[in-house]
Structure 1
Amino acid sequence: MLDVVLPILIFAALALALAGALRRIGLWRQGRAAPVQLLAGLAAMPRRYLVDLHHVVARDKVFANTHVATGGGFVLAALLLIAVHGFGLESRVLAWALLAATAVMFVGALRVAARRKDPPARLSRGPWMRLPKSLFAFSVSVFLVTLPAAGVLPAGFGGWALAAVLALVVAWGLGEMFFGMTWGGPMKHAFAGALHLAFHRRPERFGGGRSTGLKPLDLNDASAPLGVGKPVDFTWNQLLGFDACVQCGRCEAMCPAFAAGQPLNPKKLIQDMVVGLAGGTDAAYAGSPYPGMPVGEHGGDVHSPIVLREGRALVDADTLWSCTTCRACVEECPMMIEHVDAIVDMRRHLTMEHGNTPNKGGEVLENLAATDNPGGFDPASRMNWAADLDLPLISARGSAEVLLWLGDGAFDMRNQRTLRALVKVLRAAKVDFAVLGNDELDSGDVARRLGDEATFQSLAARNIATLAQYRFEHIVTCDPHSFHVLKNEYPALGGHYDVSHHSTYISQLMAAGRLALGQWSGGKVTYHDPCYLGRYNGEYEAPRNALKGIGIKVVEMERSGFRSRCCGGGGGAPITDIPGKQRIPDMRMAEINATGADIVAVGCPQCTAMLEGVVGERAEVLDIAELVAAQLAAAPAQRVKEEVTA
């Protein structure tokens, strides 16, 4: 009986899976065109899956091994199942290989079952709770029906009754594992995920690369939408990426806005985009909701507005404006989904099409248009803080080794202390540097994150034109946001520069022996990684090396490095100011205080402002440049002390 039934079940499941695949591809292709390399992407997909994806998955070593066992076991078992039972190849070697593959898959299924017995809150439930049973059904039933082919049991063992039961269980396993991959269910992520890796909108991320700069809009193309107002406005491979979500909740666990009780959950956001792709409501969603928003209130279809002022929509505007663009969600996602790209795309529509930027967002954008800085300060006052420093202007010299980019911290009294410290360090190292002075405009970072692509491109074009007039080897800045924009986003508009964060440049000066420094004798110091320096640009060691160079042994926080918690100052979040149950900088300061540190070293004006705004007990906030500059003064005394001791 099984000799007849199994091929029918296998090829029927494959045919239904193929029909589902065509249907799913049709849903994705409703999105806008996107350039992809079809054959090259498919050829690269296995390596991207086995290396790049598993590099992220392997951060949870137990589950990584589980995924290898279940995923690898299933892929091998499925291929051998088709060969042995579908095409009836009589080979004991293949049959034993099939037994081994299903045994490995069964072991992985045991781990999945243990994980699902009492799942953490971040894991979605619902259909995902049946996944262990389906894995068992497939692995056990295929193992049993293969025993005769391997010569372990005689053909027809157990009679018709057992054969009928096994056929039913095989049908269950095939239904979930084959049919479910393309029609819906937990295994949908396997099919969509594989193609997502092949046709990822940021192929530069693979092979150890990094790609974090936002992609520019073609503002001269009248047919292109200004941002994304409906799901159909996303590119087709963005829609594909949403469908790849495995609902593991790693993004949710790392999201600072979710932790603060603001109405954002990156996992729920991606699932709402999936609802919009296929049409319907979020009533079937079985994961954590947006804080303060019950499930069942959102819905729509691919041609419906994503955000509405009134009536049911896929997403509330406050959800989009809660994001700090810290990329913690993107960094943690094992499927390498680009949450921040999608959020900024939707913000662009709200800002440029409707002018709906909440709270002080509209005022800031108006200031940028009128004064070229978000604070609305007189552009001619940019250099007032340095009236006594006699800073060299590159316009007067024409060239310099280093162009010091001041950023809009030049208008902030607190950040002016950091700039003065940095100037002191550069002069101590005898660096040939100059500044643009009043010719420097805002980099455009905040405009772009608030969705005003037109203002960003205008500022960028004017800055690029100004920079083209002069010769310099490097740009150095103490602002990670300006650093990121100049380094990673200006190139798409024609501006190509060698840009360094000041902590990187200071550590290089130290390594070259160009700074005479004393050694730290103060209290305990911890270091807060800025999102736009760390997760966006992969720079974690240089700031620590700079602190080590003055004798500071950093006491690390529980969440540091690529898992550092955002200060809450990025993405225009302080401007849009969406309320939550607590403030993100308060949470970060609690983590700082937990180390017992007297000082938190920072490397970003936004981080300084957010952390110094914490009310109550807190560590002192000092920029790396301030800490290093203080040791310049200590150096002579330190040398005298050493000579006396000798």
Structure 2
Amino acid sequence: MTSHTTLFAPLLIASVAFFCFSLYRRLALVRLGQPEDRFDHPGRRLQEMLRYAFAQLRVVQRPFGLNHFVIFWSFMILALANAEFLVNGVIPQASLAALPEGVHHLLLLAFDFVSIFALVAVCFSLARRLFFKPDYLDSRYVKARSLEGFLILLFIALLMVAYFGMHGALLAMGEDPGAAPFMPVSRFTASLLAPFGNQLPGVAELFWWIHALVLCAFICLLPRSKHMHIITAIPNCYFGSLEQPNTQPRERFEKGETFGVGQVDGFTWKDLFDGFSCTECGRCQDACPANNTGKPLNPRQIVHAIKMNLMENADDLAAGKKPHLPLIGAEGEGTNTEDAIWSCTTCGACMEVCPVLIEQMPKIVKMRRHLVETEARFPEELLNLFENMEQRSNPWGIAPSERTKWHGPMDVQRFEAGQTEYLLYVGCAGSFDSRTKHVTVALATVLNAAGISWGILGKDEKCCGDSLRRLGNEYLFDKMAKENAALFTERGVKKVIVLCPHCLNTLKNDYRQYGLDLEVVHHSELIESLLEAGRIKLHDGAKELGKVAYHDPCYLGRHNKVYDAPRAVVAAATGKAPAEMERNRDNSFCCGAGGGRMWMEEHQGDRVNHHRVDETLKQSPDTVCVACPYCMTMFEDGLKDRGKPEVRVRDIAEIVAEGLRPKA
């Protein structure tokens, strides 16, 4: 088809030039972001890219994910066939037919089968969008993208149809008969086209041009649509975080420094690259507890708004001017509302399900920092929290001398370096909250029964500052973290037991940024090890708890990957494994208290804990087992609100403490 060259060559050159120009214009914007080192550990990064980008690990975890897997790999394999088509259209002598016959025939067989697989997968995708589309495929500001999605699917379908039509017509004309046995689908198409007889050259010509025009249109559209992720998603997986999303970078409190992110160029280049890598699949939206309960937060919209804000303000930023479109402001495309930013529980569910490793939650915390530290704009109820933390180092503002009243007449020793192995970091809830005090007593009972050497700091203990950091008050968190790091170093603390996953995460992960490398263990992990070592002998006391359902706390599970230890403890104490909720382990649904939401009211939508309690009640449990003081509060409140006070809520330590008592 050498006659195509005269018309096709300039068309292809124009399409490729437009593609390169558009891609450069968009990727150049990423350079406006702040520096961040994402080039370390190339071996591990390559491994992650292979797992998430090429093996589509998170995509195939969903029932419809296999369909996308087929489309992805069809695209990758057929890229070679399309490259040959484009080159052959300009240089007719260039063809895969020049390869050894066996290799050429093998490629033809692969292209034929892959093309029919792709066509079937696209038909499934179109049917899904038309007839049984999940709610999370749409969101308020990306509904227009649905048309774009239909267009891309239509393009792929047309490419496959044109491929079979073109090759079928050529086979029907008797061209390259040796290839026919290796092109079963094209051969079948040839039988359908055979009646066209003398018109077959025109049919082949028609399908050739359909293929050419659609391919050129696809090339032009790709960098200017959400499907730019076809180009950026693979490198985004390479540059993904190698650590769990359980901490945030420190800020420098020096003259001239900015706090948080108030305009789009305050994000790192990786944050901005995330925007161009988002597939807008809606998985983060579907997993988000705030979005599920009618809050204004949509993690997908957070990323989309950052991208749109970057493109809208590109000229201002390039000229060194202040952006004309605010990053945080009134509802609209390219801005994130304060209500959305404050709705986040920092549970990490969005990051757990994102197929291309986009980091939504850290971006929200960065914007919270700007609101708190630069603008002094935050929900009114947080004012008391911040004041109480600053003045008395606990959320309730209770005098530090009250920290030791939880143990009553129980003989509790103060931690002494060299004489005491473990520091029991009681935490604010364990010291002051009336319900959690019972958990602390139960844990102390278990530790004593196992013969563990432990002590406490008493009134010298300070809050770890978890809520402050997640709420964006980094300045106050920094002050408290330095004080705690100095105190722990002075007292010679090396090993720490905690009963709160938020304390676990902060002491274990955040405090490493302050040079404090502690061995921190959550009480569920320690109790499991004590049971395995035979240092705790359980009786039948806990077996009276009936059917036990276990809830995974976000900061114990997703953020620190502790899933098995609590379940093993429940099984040992009650004699059987706990009942599992529909959403469990890394897919667990938040109780609603993380990210500082424990200290805030829910003014919009439904209460998150009500949704989690409703899901729990489907298991008809007699007891709900938790491993976090925040979860304890949210479940007890939720069960009362649902009129189910007979369903008991117990911490891991309480269940084991009950198991220590012989059955009466």
Superposition TM-score tier, normalisation by shorter sequence: 0.7 to 0.9
Does 2:189 correspond to 1:175?
no
Task: Write the deviation string for residues 108-139 of structure 1: whole angstroms up to 9, x where unpaired.
Answer: 22222232222111113232222321110222
Bigger radius of gyration: 2
**2:19 paired residue among 12, 17, 20:** 17
- Name the amino acid aligned to 2:561: G
**2:552 paired residue among 504, 525, 529:** 529
Does 2:622 correspond to 1:598?
yes
**1:564 paired residue among 571, 588, 609:** 588
The answer on whether the counterparts of 2:548 and 2:623 sit within 8 Å (CA) in structure 1 is yes
**2:307 paired residue among 274, 277, 291:** 274
Q: Distance in 1 between matches of 2:45 and 2:8?
A: 31
C-alpha deviation, 1:168, in angstroms: 3.4
Task: Write the deviation string for residues 275-324 of structure 1: whole angstroms up to 9, x where unpaired.
Answer: 112129xxxxxxxxxxxxxxxxxxxx966322237999711101110111
Does 2:213 correspond to 1:197?
no
Match of 2:127 in 1: 114
Task: Write the deviation string for residues 244-272 of structure 1: whole angstroms up to 9, x where unpaired.
Answer: 11121111112111122111122222222
Q: Distance in 1 between matches of 2:605 and 2:164?
A: 52
Q: Which moved more, 1:574-583 or 1:345-354?
A: 574-583
Pick closer, same or farther for the CA change 1:80–1:321 going to 2, 3 Å: same
C-alpha deviation, 1:29, in angstroms: 1.6
Pick closer, same or farther for the CA change 1:490–1:151 going to 2, 3 Å: farther
TM-score, length of structure 2 as denominator length: 0.85
Q: Distance in 2 between matches of 1:174 and 1:230?
A: 36
Match of 1:497 in 2: 518
Q: Distance in 2 between matches of 1:38 and 1:86?
A: 37
Query: How does 1:234-313 map onto structure 2 within 5 Å?
Result: 234-279=267-312, 304-308=325-329
Look up the SS of the partner of 1:531 in the other structure. coil
Match of 1:617 in 2: 643
- Name the amino acid aligned to 1:30: L
The answer on whether the counterparts of 2:424 and 2:456 sit within 8 Å (CA) in structure 1 is yes
Query: How does 1:121-270 map onto structure 2 within 5 Å?
Result: 121-124=135-138, 125-146=146-167, 153-154=174-175, 158-160=200-202, 162-164=204-206, 166-176=208-218, 178-185=219-226, 187-200=227-240, 202=241, 204=242, 210-220=243-253, 222-270=255-303
C-alpha deviation, 1:499, in angstroms: 1.2
Look up the SS of the partner of 1:340 in the other structure. helix
C-alpha deviation, 1:360, in angstroms: 1.2
**1:344 paired residue among 365, 373, 379:** 365
Match of 1:58 in 2: 60
The answer on whether the counterparts of 1:6 and 1:86 sit within 8 Å (CA) in structure 2 is no
Q: Distance in 1 between matches of 2:86 and 2:234?
A: 25
Look up the SS of the partner of 1:442 in the other structure. coil
Pick closer, same or farther for the CA change 1:243–1:49 going to 2, 3 Å: farther
C-alpha deviation, 1:506, in angstroms: 0.6
Match of 1:642 in 2: none
Q: Distance in 2 between matches of 1:150 and 1:385?
A: 85
The answer on whether the counterparts of 2:304 and 2:334 sit within 8 Å (CA) in structure 1 is no
Does 2:570 correspond to 1:547?
yes
Q: Distance in 1 between matches of 2:483 and 2:54?
A: 38
Match of 1:80 in 2: 81
C-alpha deviation, 1:236, in angstroms: 1.2
Query: How does 1:300-339 map onto structure 2 within 5 Å?
Result: 304-308=325-329, 314-339=335-360
Look up the SS of the partner of 1:500 in the other structure. strand
The answer on whether the counterparts of 1:278 and 1:302 sit within 8 Å (CA) in structure 2 is no
Look up the SS of the partner of 2:497 in the other structure. strand
Q: Distance in 2 between matches of 1:465 and 1:279?
A: 46
Task: Write the deviation string for residues 152-210 of structure 1: whole angstroms up to 9, x where unpaired.
Answer: 8538983346524531343224422x33331224x22211212212323x1x1xxxxx4
**1:405 paired residue among 418, 421, 425:** 425
Q: Kindly, what percent of the aligned residue pairs are identical? A: 30
The answer on whether the counterparts of 1:250 and 1:329 sit within 8 Å (CA) in structure 2 is yes
Q: Distance in 2 between matches of 1:16 and 1:308?
A: 34
Query: How does 1:377-526 map onto structure 2 within 5 Å?
Result: 377-395=398-416, 398-409=418-429, 410-519=431-540, 520-526=543-549
The answer on whether the counterparts of 2:291 and 2:297 sit within 8 Å (CA) in structure 1 is yes
Look up the SS of the partner of 2:361 in the other structure. helix
- Name the amino acid aligned to 1:26: A
C-alpha deviation, 1:11, in angstroms: 4.9
Q: Aligned pairs, how many?
A: 606
Match of 1:103 in 2: 116
Pick closer, same or farther for the CA change 1:440–1:588 going to 2, 3 Å: same
Pick closer, same or farther for the CA change 1:69–1:553 going to 2, 3 Å: closer
Q: Which moved more, 1:424-433 or 1:402-411?
A: 402-411
**Cα RMSD after superposing both structures:** 2.8
C-alpha deviation, 1:69, in angstroms: 1.6
Task: Write the deviation string for residues 614-639 of structure 1: whole angstroms up to 9, x where unpaired.
Answer: 2242321111111110111127x6xx
Does 2:95 correspond to 1:89?
yes
C-alpha deviation, 1:43, in angstroms: 7.7
- Name the amino acid aligned to 2:150: M
- Name the amino acid aligned to 1:535: R
Match of 1:290 in 2: none
Look up the SS of the partner of 1:613 in the other structure. helix
The answer on whether the counterparts of 2:52 and 2:355 sit within 8 Å (CA) in structure 1 is no
Q: Distance in 1 between matches of 2:468 and 2:11?
A: 56
Q: Distance in 2 between matches of 1:560 and 1:412?
A: 27
Pick closer, same or farther for the CA change 1:433–1:30 going to 2, 3 Å: same
Which 5+ residue runs of structure 1 have no aligned equivalent? Answer: 205-209, 281-300, 638-646
Q: Distance in 1 between matches of 2:55 and 2:345?
A: 25
Pick closer, same or farther for the CA change 1:426–1:157 going to 2, 3 Å: farther
Q: Which moved more, 1:311-320 or 1:366-375?
A: 311-320
- Name the amino acid aligned to 1:72: W
C-alpha deviation, 1:489, in angstroms: 1.4
Q: Which moved more, 1:611-620 or 1:30-39?
A: 30-39
The answer on whether the counterparts of 1:95 and 1:150 sit within 8 Å (CA) in structure 2 is no
Pick closer, same or farther for the CA change 1:149–1:561 going to 2, 3 Å: same
C-alpha deviation, 1:613, in angstroms: 1.5
The answer on whether the counterparts of 1:141 and 1:169 sit within 8 Å (CA) in structure 2 is yes
Task: Write the deviation string for residues 442-482 of structure 1: whole angstroms up to 9, x where unpaired.
Answer: 11100001101111111111111111123455311110001
Does 2:594 correspond to 1:588?
no
Q: Distance in 2 between matches of 1:52 and 1:327?
A: 23
Q: Which structure carries more helix by proportion? A: 2
C-alpha deviation, 1:8, in angstroms: 5.3
Q: Distance in 2 between matches of 1:45 and 1:347?
A: 33
Q: Distance in 1 between matches of 2:651 and 2:590?
A: 16
